[in-house]
Structure 1
Amino acid sequence: MRKQEETVEENEDNENKEIDNTSNYSQLDRPDRQFYIPSQIIDEFGEKGRDHLNQAIGGRLLLALTAGSFMTFGAIFSVLLAEGVETMGVYHLLSGLGFAAGYAMVFISGALLFTEINVLLPSYLFNKANLMKVNIYKFWASAYIGNILGAFMVAVLIQMSGSLSPEFYTEFSSYLDKKMKFMDHGVTGWFEVLVSGILANWLIGMAAFLTTAARDITGKILGTTLPVILFVAGNFQHSAANMGYFSLGVLASDKYTWYEYILFNLIPASIGNLIGGGILVSLLFSYAYKEEIQTSLGQNNNKK
């Protein structure tokens, strides 16, 4: 009887060892995920939105200026890369790649871009009640103004440097014409820009989505690049991107005035950008994954 009990114990020990080995093999065969799932991304959006909102005004303004400056660099690079290219597919690809450099610098550096905030801040608001306070609107306004000032500052420096060739400005003029073509359509054109702005920030919201999903620098750059190429190729109106083009346009060309840039493009594009980022990305995914989102955003009510 005792021998039978010992035999049973030995068999159980062997089975446990086999289970442990199987578990080890399973762990070896299943490496850690190299990306965040959608609910984690939305949660991360909310966290970033809260961090930006809590930032000191000085740091916030500097980051907004930096983001705007990157937009002008992206605008310049988009023209330089596609200059002289006649095949439209390659032209759009290179132009989009050029502007993606500006967005990659924004996303990875943590700079404060108005159109990215249109995704991050609503994600925070949708996951926390009773937060519609005046300082939120001031925050949005400071980001927008900071982006414009940063874009114009770099445009001034580029003009002062005398670095760009006459061929560049000839090509650049065609970019301005594409951005301002809606002006000829009157009221209809104004609403066309608004709808185009919705599409643009929907794509930029997805660029932020993919960039946040990636957990390494290569994935973040690739995640930024694909949606940016699409919005540039489609000539969708993105207010932050257009700040880069228009800042240089005011200095380098008298074809359009500054108030035409603002009234017939930036204003309707910005409204569309708010809708595209806040509703079609932030609200949509927040609602779709509301049961899965595990967030600590509601724990600091008394701090806001």
Structure 2
Amino acid sequence: MASDEEAKMKERNENIETEQRSDVKIDQPGRQFYIPSQIVDEFGEKGRDHLNKPFRAQLLLALTAGSFMTFGAVFSILLAVGVEAKGIYHLLSGLGFAAGYSMVFISGSVLFTEINVLLPSYLFNKSGLMKSNIYKFWASAYIGNILGAFIVAGLIQMSGSLSDTFYPELSKYLDHKMKFMDYGIKGWFEVLVSGILANWLIGMAAFLTTAARDITGKILGTMLPVVLFVAGNFQHSAANMGYFSMGFLASDKYTWYEYILFNLVPASIGNLIGGGILVSLLFSYAYKEDIQTSLGKKKQ
């Protein structure tokens, strides 16, 4: 009998210990990235912050972003000079341009194609919109990007730093960008569609960069979509500003109005559609309830 009592007591103690252990929370590592609804919400916050900056700050940050585009364009060419294998050529070229985008995203500079994602996210999801200066801000970002790209291109030309092998390669890049001009109206619309694809990818670069919570993740998140859009020759207006600024100063093959009318204008329209609709609107609608909850609003 004593042994039965001891066995029952032992079993009871083991059950109590098991119940106590089940109440202990397991220490799990924190998530290393933001979930999609948090990313779209962050887009809106960034769009609001950019919009609320003084005009001088908006313009200076736009100039800085345009400057980084020219540095990225030059680096993309320098890395790929003399490379014959197409896959390696595109990879190196994309990695070079990713350096420019990384500087833009991490520094908080104002890039036209990034605000095509940030501002619509703010407009779609935030209450109490300040609409009065939106168009002025968009225009200042675009003009500031062009001026910044051109200023750095001029400084690079004045420095005499680039080797003679750079310029034939630059000419190949320009021909690749301007080939659509030979197809007239059809080519113009092809650039527009290509611009949609380009800003879709850059929107996803911003998406992945925002998702990351450390500097390495942000650089890698920027790199992958940028390599893809460069390899695919998708027409990204801000990127082309860098190439065209160098081309305008180094060669007379194309005129400034050909760069603008046959590439930058249709590419920019496509960029607005790609960033605003295929990234910002799409994700804002898909995660509407989660985003509203994060803003402290009641679900409908």
TM score, norm. by length of structure 2:
0.91
Residue 192 of structure 1 and its aligned partner are, at CA, apart by 0.5
> How far apart, CA to CA, are the structure 2 residues paired with 1:242 and 1:267?
11
Q: Is the 8 A contact 1:127 1:297 kept in 2?
A: no
User: Does the CA contact (< 8 Å) of 1:42 and 1:286 recur in 2?
Assistant: yes
SS of the equivalent of 2:57 reads helix
What does residue 267 of structure 2 align with? Answer: 269
Q: Would you say the 8 A contact 2:40–2:280 is kept in 1?
A: yes
Letter in 2 for 1:185: Y
**In structure 2, do the counterparts of structure 1 residues 297 and 122 end up closer, same or farther at CA, with 3 Å as the change threshold?**
farther
The amino acid across from 1:43 in the alignment is D
Structure 2 gap ranges (5+): 1-8
Answer yes or no: is 1:17 the counterpart of 2:20.
yes
In structure 1, the partner of 2:229 is: 231
Where do 5+ consecutive residues of structure 1 fail to align?
Answer: 1-6, 299-304
Q: Return closer, same or farther for 1:178/1:297 CA change in 2, 3 Å cut-off.
A: farther
* Superposed displacement of residue 128, structure 1: 2.9
- For 1:120, the equivalent position in structure 2 comes to 118
Cα separation, 2, equivalents of 1:221 and 1:239:
21
> 2: distance between equivalents of 1:255 and 1:245?
13
* Superposition deviation, residue 18 in structure 1: 1.6
Secondary structure of 1:166's partner? coil
Matched, 1:240 2:243: no
Counterpart in the other structure of 2:94 = 96
Report 1:1-304 matches (<5 A).
14=17, 17-21=20-24, 23=25, 26-27=26-27, 30-128=28-126, 131=129, 133-293=131-291, 294-296=293-295
Name the SS for the 1:237 alignment partner. coil
How far residue 169 of structure 1 moved from its aligned partner, in angstroms, is 0.3
> 2:21 and 2:218 mapped to 1: Cα distance?
40
1:133 positional shift: 2.6
Between the aligned partners of 2:268 and 2:17, the Cα distance in structure 1 is 67
Of all paired residues, the percent bearing the same amino acid is 79
Number of positions where the alignment pairs a residue of Structure 1 with one of Structure 2: 287
Shift of 1:166: 1.3
> Could you tell me which amino acid in structure 2 is paired with residue 168 of structure 1?
F
The one-letter code matched in structure 1 to 2:158 is M
**How far did 1:20 drift?**
3.8
Question: What is the CA-CA distance between 1:154 and the residue it aligns to?
Answer: 0.3
Q: Write out per-residue CA displacement over residues 207-235 of structure 1, whole angstroms, 9 at most, x where no aligned residue.
A: 00000001111111000000000000000
Distance 2:222 2:49 in 1: 21
**2:44–2:126 contact (8 Å) kept in structure 1:** no
In structure 2, what is the Cα distance between the partners aligned to 1:133 and 1:36?
A: 28
Query: 1: CA distance between counterparts of 2:163 and 2:21?
Result: 71
CA RMSD of superposed structures (Å): 1.8
Matched with 2:6 is: none
